[in-house]
Amino acid sequence: MSSGVMYYLTTVLVYAGVDIMACIALNLQFGVAGLVNFGFILFQAAGAYAAAVLSMPPEAANGGFQQYVLGLRLPFPLPWLGGAAAGGLLAVPIGLVVLRRLRSDYQAIALLVISVIANTMITNVRPFLNGAAGLSLVPPPLGDLVNANSAGYQWLYVGLTALGCGVVLAAATRIVESPFGRTLRAMREREPAAAALGKNLVMLKMVMFIAGGVIAGLSGAVLVGFIGVWAPATWLYPETIVLFAALIVGGRGNNLGALLGALLVPVGFEEVTRFIPQVGPPGLIPALQWVAIGLLIIGFLWFRPRGTLPERRRVFADPPPAGTPNQSESNSRQMLPPSDRSRPLLAAEGVKRRFEGLRAVDGVSLEVVPGRITGLIGPNGAGKSTLLAVLAGTLPASAGRILLGGADVTRLPAYRRAQWGLVRTFQLSSEFAQLTVLENLLVAVPRHRGDSLAGALRGKAYWWADERPAVLRARALLARFGMSAQESEYAGTLSGGQKRLVEIMRALMLGPRVLLLDEPMAGVHPSLVEEIAACLERLRDEGLAILMVEHELSMVDRLCDPVIVMAQGQVIGRGSMTVLRRQREIVDAYLAG
């Protein structure tokens, strides 16, 4: 092999490794967790700069021709680890600003803006990282042991890069294949439903923001060690777009798709277009490259939206291999002190919820006691769904108090209330569409060992003991509701009624103490309505406290006592159906209509 070819080949391989790591990081954030990080390149840049200044000697050693901070001259692999740490650390303040308050589309824009501002600042503040000129003479890793200009060194670097890729891919695989990965995908599919099942969305996003930042930082460190120079002009936001294009082409949600995308777009596409002869005015070919990348994104989104290697559908083995059962799983209902049946588990005191000027809920007080199904009826727009959302924490209350097991939870977010055993379903189908039916149920399992980043990274051997009983319990529920055959189907492909059932089963998987159901039987096949009713009666007799919005009065007659009637945001009557039927204004307002 001529040395020219060898240098070219090793260079392409190292770039491929860097792009693979970056794409895997972006896949964890965007493909799996649904975080649109348009500032991704900033984290790669941070890792590169950190690795550079950690490995470079103090400023003065080079005659002071460039200005920068640190200059610690640390030996390999410390600069790489430092680069990874820098990417992760940078994610903390940015995540705290962006991920807590903003809705996800604004998050994306904020991240884009932050990356542009950061670039402008780095370019213009010279003492920090030498400004627009950037850094050069970054020492090659292990350069004091191996002659960095030799062919052997080139291949050594390829080997180190491959090692980095291997570690990143292994970690990413563990995350994606774990219950934690399942939770991330549920969040991606439908945030309010994930929160209603006890998932702390801000925390999940933060963790993935940092994890992605760490990998991005490492990839930057690998790159800067290889090329030895780095300048802010190469860290512009369009590079992020190239990585998104790679994911869309390769297949988001699938680590191998991310890997393939990295090889196809940033590496393959750019290498191929490099050989196009120079025609037209200077800058024409690079501009056309951008056009082509845009077309590639549009083309894939149009014709193959899930990419070349789509996210895999997860089918569970039957029966699952044995493991030691974990007791936290089976006792999930013991979270609140055992309550006697007369004391309300859930109470609202003067709860109000306004939308702009509209008083959707206007001073509602009610109690939900264990061992009973409390009905909530009223005409369309009465505020029933809004009340349920406020009780569950999906929407904050404008005024009033909410007590759960005697404790004031008015200020607690939805996921905390869910962890205390308050679970709601939604009036509109809110299945996790790209998760299978079984996975939809498994998402709800509380305190699963594999449902954290640390647990996921420890691998299947660590968390399988919690997975097995969860799968068995989910299958028992599926059998009870006659949905075993749909176990491995994507929930998004089910009928409206089946989606409803999935939601109810999912709520039950959590082991709730209080269940808030918003029209659970709407759109469900009559034969299954009976099954749901029987199930609710059983849960009621077991001591569950249930609040149910229902339209079908015969069902309310059969199941609910007491019944609360709402109209225009207020409670206009309460009591048993027999009593309510005797009240003229209630009959006029609702029962007659």
- Site residues, Mg ion (CB under 5 A): 384-385, 427
Nearest-CA neighbor of 91 among 223, 202, 206, 201?
A: 206
Q: How far apart are CA 456 and CA 177, in angstroms?
A: 8
326 binds, among ligand ADP, Mg ion, none (CB under 5 to 8 A by kind): none
Q: How far is the CB of 103 from ligand ADP (least distance, A)?
A: 13
Q: How far is the CB of 252 from ligand ADP (least distance, A)?
A: 30
Chain mean position to CA 592: 46
Is residue 428 a contact point for ligand ADP (CB under 6 A)?
Answer: no
Asked if residues 432 and 503 have their Cβ atoms less than 8 Å apart, the reply is no
Q: Give the torsion through C-alpha atoms of 487, 489, 494, 497, to 10 deg.
A: 10
Is residue 380 a contact point for ligand ADP (CB under 6 A)?
Answer: yes
Q: Give the torsion through C-alpha atoms of 46, 51, 53, 58, to 10 deg.
A: 170
Q: Which of 39, 131, 198, 378 binds ligand ADP (CB under 6 A)?
A: 378
Classify burial at 239, counting beta carbons within 10 Å of its beta carbon; exposed 0-12, middle 13-18, buried 19 or more: middle
Residue 192 or 325: the one with the smaller Cβ distance to Mg ion is 192
Asked if residues 28 and 257 have their Cβ atoms less than 8 Å apart, the reply is no
Q: How far apart are CA 116 and CA 235, in angstroms?
A: 9
Give the x-and-dash track for 220-259 against ligand ADP (CB under 6 A): ----------------------------------------
Is residue 382 a contact point for ligand ADP (CB under 6 A)?
Answer: yes
Q: Which of 213, 383, 446, 497 binds ligand ADP (CB under 6 A)?
A: 383
Is residue 381 a contact point for ligand ADP (CB under 6 A)?
Answer: yes
475 binds, among ligand ADP, Mg ion, none (CB under 5 to 8 A by kind): none
Q: How far apart are CA 538 and CA 563, in angstroms?
A: 19
Residue 371 or 381: the one with the smaller Cβ distance to ligand ADP is 381
Q: How far is the CB of 360 from ligand ADP (least distance, A)?
A: 3
Residue 458 or 551: the one with the smaller Cβ distance to ligand ADP is 551
User: What is the rounded radius of gyration, in angstroms, for the C-alpha atoms of the chain?
Assistant: 28
Three-state DSSP class for residue 573: strand
Q: How far is the CB of 408 from Mg ion (least distance, A)?
A: 26
Q: How far apart are CA 278 and CA 328, in angstroms?
A: 66
Count of H helices and E strands in the chain? 24, 10
Is residue 384 a contact point for ligand ADP (CB under 6 A)?
Answer: yes
378 binds, among Mg ion, ligand ADP, none (CB under 5 to 8 A by kind): ligand ADP
Q: What is the DSSP string of 396-412?
A: --SEEEEEETTEE-TTS
Asked if residues 420 and 345 have their Cβ atoms less than 8 Å apart, the reply is no
Residue 47 or 378: the one with the smaller Cβ distance to ligand ADP is 378
Residue 427 or 493: the one with the smaller Cβ distance to Mg ion is 427
> Cβ–Cβ contacts within 10 Å for residue 519, how many?
21
119 binds, among Mg ion, ligand ADP, none (CB under 5 to 8 A by kind): none
Report phi then psi at 445, rounded to 5: -60, 120
Where in 385-424 is the site for ligand ADP (CB under 6 A)?
Answer: 385-386
At position 187, the amino acid (one-letter code) is M
Residue 318 or 356: the one with the smaller Cβ distance to ligand ADP is 356
Is residue 532 a contact point for ligand ADP (CB under 6 A)?
Answer: no
473 binds, among ligand ADP, Mg ion, none (CB under 5 to 8 A by kind): none
Where in 350-369 is the site for ligand ADP (CB under 6 A)?
Answer: 355, 358, 360
| End-to-end CA separation in angstroms for the chain | 86
Q: How far is the CB of 361 from ligand ADP (least distance, A)?
A: 7
Q: How far is the CB of 389 from ligand ADP (least distance, A)?
A: 8
Nearest-CA neighbor of 518 among 496, 490, 546?
A: 546
Q: Give the torsion through C-alpha atoms of 37, 42, 43, 47, to 10 deg.
A: 170
360 binds, among Mg ion, ligand ADP, none (CB under 5 to 8 A by kind): ligand ADP
Asked if residues 404 and 515 have their Cβ atoms less than 8 Å apart, the reply is no
Q: How far is the CB of 380 from ligand ADP (least distance, A)?
A: 4
Total residues binding ligand ADP (CB under 6 A): 11
Which range in 150-158, 300-308, 384-392, 430-438 contacts ligand ADP by CB under 6 A? 384-392
Residue 81 or 387: the one with the smaller Cβ distance to Mg ion is 387
At position 136, the amino acid (one-letter code) is S
User: Which positions lie near ligand ADP, rule CB under 6 A?
Assistant: 355, 358, 360, 378, 380-386
